[in-house]
C-alpha cells in the first residue's frame, strides 16, 4: 500500500468515524475519503456512500466502483461478523481484526476463558448457560455478600449487555431480561457472572500488527447519562486524554501483563490480531485488571485521542498492515484533550429525531472540533438522527483550558431537547491536574 493519492473508505456513521475521516483528510497521502454511511459531518470532508456497515457485498461493490485503496472499519458489529475477511477476500486491504480475532469483543465467554488460561489479571467469574442456574447463583451471591454483582450477556449487545446489580432483585431482573425475555437475542444464551471491581477505569487503545503493539495515549470516558456518574449507562457522554492516574508504571503493567500476553494467547490458538485493540482496565487496590476488550477504536475515546496524534495516521495504519509497527515512530502532541457529548433529550431511552441544529460554525470558531455522530442533512439543514448527536472536542495546554474550551463551544450549539453532562473533566480538575 506504499503509495500516495490514496482513496480511503471509512465504514460507519458515528462520531468515531467522523474523527477518523477528519484525521485521514489531514494526511499528505490521502486524495479522497469516503464514508459508508457517514453523517452530516463526514459529508463535509468527503463523500458519503449508501449502505449499512453490515451490508458487505454492497460496500465491497461501492469500494470497487470507486477504486478504494484501503478500508478502515469503525463499529464492532461488522468486525464481529467478519467484514475484514470479506474485504480481503475481494482483494481490498482492510484495517481491523479478522472475525476470529474479533471474538475478543464478540464473546465475553471466549475472552474470560482466554484470560483465565493465561493468568491475565481480571475479575473472578462464572459462565452459566441456564436461566434457573443463573438465578440460583444470583441468590447465593447476595445471601452471603452485600457487594454488587456484574452480569454480562455473552455476545454483542450494543454496549448495553453489562448490568451491575446492587441487590438480588436487580440481579434476578437482569437474568430474566437476558436469558428469559431475550432482549439481546442469542447474546443471552450464556451469561458471565463476574466479581465487581472497584477503582478508576481507563481506556487503553493500541495499534497491533499481529505481533507488535504500539499503544495510544490513555483516555477516560464517562458512561453514565447524568452528572456525578448517576443514571443508566450510555455509549459514552464525554472523555478526556491523557489520564493522570495511568502512571508510567500502570501503563507498562497494562501493556506487558495484559495486552501482550493476550495477543500471545491468541497466537497460540492460531489467531493473529491486526487492527486496534482497546483494553478497558480498572485500577484496583490489587493493581490494574482487565474489565473487557473491544476490537476497534473506542467512541468517544477516538475523538480525544486522534487530535493528539502528531504522526500521520495513514503511516501508522500502513505499518500495522505490513507487520512493521516495531519500526514505526509514533509521536503525540504534549497537550490535553476533552470531549463533551451532546445528546438528544431522552437518550439513552426514547428521543426525537429530525430536530434542526444551529450554532455548529460558531462552536468551531470558538476553537473546538465538532464531531458529528447522530446527524444528517435534510432540505439543506443539519438535523438530529440519533441519541448521541455531537462530540465537541477542545485541546489545551492544560486540562482546565481544554475543559473550558469544550464547554464554551457547547454553549454555541442549539437544538430542542439538547442535553449534555456538565462535569466532563471535573475529576482531573478536582485533583489539581494541569
* Domains 7-96 and 130-189 equal at CATH topology level: no
CATH class of 130-189: alpha beta
Neighbour tally for 163: CB within 10 Å: 21
pLDDT at residue 429, as a whole number: 87
pLDDT at residue 431, as a whole number: 65
Q: Domain 7-96, what architecture?
A: 3-Layer(aba) Sandwich (3.40)
Grid coordinates belonging to 380: 439543506
Q: What number does CATH give the domain 200-430?
A: 3.30.470.20
Neighbour tally for 11: CB within 10 Å: 31
pLDDT at residue 430, as a whole number: 73
Under a CB-based contact definition with an 8 Å cutoff, are residues 329 and 354 in contact?
no
The full set of domain ranges for the chain reads 7-96, 130-189, 200-430
pLDDT at residue 434, as a whole number: 63
Residues of the chain short of pLDDT 70, as ranges, are 1, 431-434
How large is the angle between the packed helices 131-144 and 168-175, nearest 10 degrees?
170
pLDDT at residue 165, as a whole number: 95
User: Considering the entire predicted model, what is its pTM?
Assistant: 0.95
- Rounded-to-integer distance, Cα 377 and Cα 385, Å: 9
Amino acid at each position: 500500500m506504499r503509495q500516495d493519492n490514496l482513496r480511503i473508505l471509512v465504514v460507519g456513521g458515528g462520531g468515531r468515524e467522523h474523527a477518523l475521516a477528519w484525521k485521514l483528510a489531514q494526511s499528505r497521502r490521502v486524495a479522497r475519503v469516503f464514508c459508508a454511511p457517514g453523517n452530516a459531518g463526514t459529508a463535509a470532508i468527503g463523500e458519503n456512500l449508501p449502505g449499512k456497515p453490515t451490508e458487505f457485498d454492497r460496500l465491497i461493490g461501492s469500494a470497487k466502483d470507486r477504486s478504494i485503496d484501503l478500508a478502515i472499519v469503525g463499529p464492532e458489529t461488522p468486525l464481529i461478523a467478519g467484514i475484514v475477511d470479506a474485504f480481503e477476500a475481494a482483494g481490498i486491504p482492510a484495517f481491523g481484526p479478522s472475525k476470529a480475532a474479533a471474538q475478543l469483543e464478540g464473546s465475553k465467554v471466549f475472552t474470560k476463558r482466554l484470560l483465565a488460561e493465561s493468568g491475565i489479571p481480571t475479575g473472578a467469574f462464572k459462565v452459566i448457560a441456564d436461566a434457573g442456574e443463573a438465578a440460583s447463583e444470583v441468590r447465593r451471591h447476595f445471601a452471603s455478600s452485600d457487594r454488587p454483582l456484574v452480569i454480562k450477556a455473552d455476545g454483542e449487545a450494543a454496549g448495553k449487555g453489562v448490568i451491575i446489580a446492587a441487590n438480588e432483585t436487580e440481579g434476578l431482573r437482569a437474568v430474566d431480561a437476558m436469558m428469559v425475555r431475550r432482549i439481546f437475542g442469542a447474546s443471552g444464551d450464556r451469561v458471565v457472572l463476574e466479581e465487581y471491581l472497584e477503582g478508576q477505569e481507563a481506556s487503553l487503545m493500541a495499534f497491533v500488527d499481529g505481533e507488535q503493539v504500539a499503544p495510544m495515549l490513555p483516555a477516560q470516558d464517562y458512561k453514565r447519562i447524568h452528572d456525578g456518574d448517576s443514571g443508566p449507562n450510555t455509549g459514552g457522554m464525554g472523555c478526556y486524554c491523557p489520564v493522570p492516574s495511568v502512571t508510567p508504571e500502570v501503563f507498562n503493567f497494562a501493556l506487558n501483563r495484559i495486552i501482550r500476553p493476550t495477543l500471545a494467547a491468541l497466537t497460540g490458538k492460531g489467531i493473529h490480531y491486526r487492527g486496534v485493540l482497546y483494553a478497558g482496565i480498572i485500577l484496583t487496590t490489587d493493581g490494574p485488571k482487565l474489565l473487557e476488550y473491544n476490537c476497534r477504536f473506542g467512541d468517544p475515546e477516538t475523538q480525544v485521542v486522534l487530535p493528539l496524534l502528531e504522526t500521520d495516521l495513514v503511516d501508522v495504519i500502513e505499518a500495522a498492515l505490513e507487520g512493521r509497527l516495531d519500526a514505526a515512530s509514533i509521536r503525540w502532541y504534549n497537550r490535553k484533550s476533552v470531549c463533551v457529548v451532546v445528546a438528544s433529550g431522552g437518550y439513552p431511552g426514547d428521543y426525537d429525531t429530525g430536530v434542526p441544529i444551529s450554532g455548529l460554525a460558531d462552536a468551531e470558531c470558538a476553537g473546538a472540533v465538532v464531531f458529528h455522530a447522530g446527524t444528517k442533512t435534510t432540505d439543506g439543514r443539519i438535523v438530529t438522527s440519533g441519541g448521541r448527536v455531537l462530540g465537541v472536542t477542545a485541546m489545551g495546554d492544560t486540562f482546565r483550558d481544554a475543559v473550558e474550551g469544550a464547554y464554551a463551544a457547547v454553549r454555541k450549539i442549539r437544538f430542542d431537547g439538547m442535553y449534555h453532562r456538565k462535569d466532563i473533566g471535573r475529576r482531573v480538575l478536582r485533583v489539581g491536574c494541569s
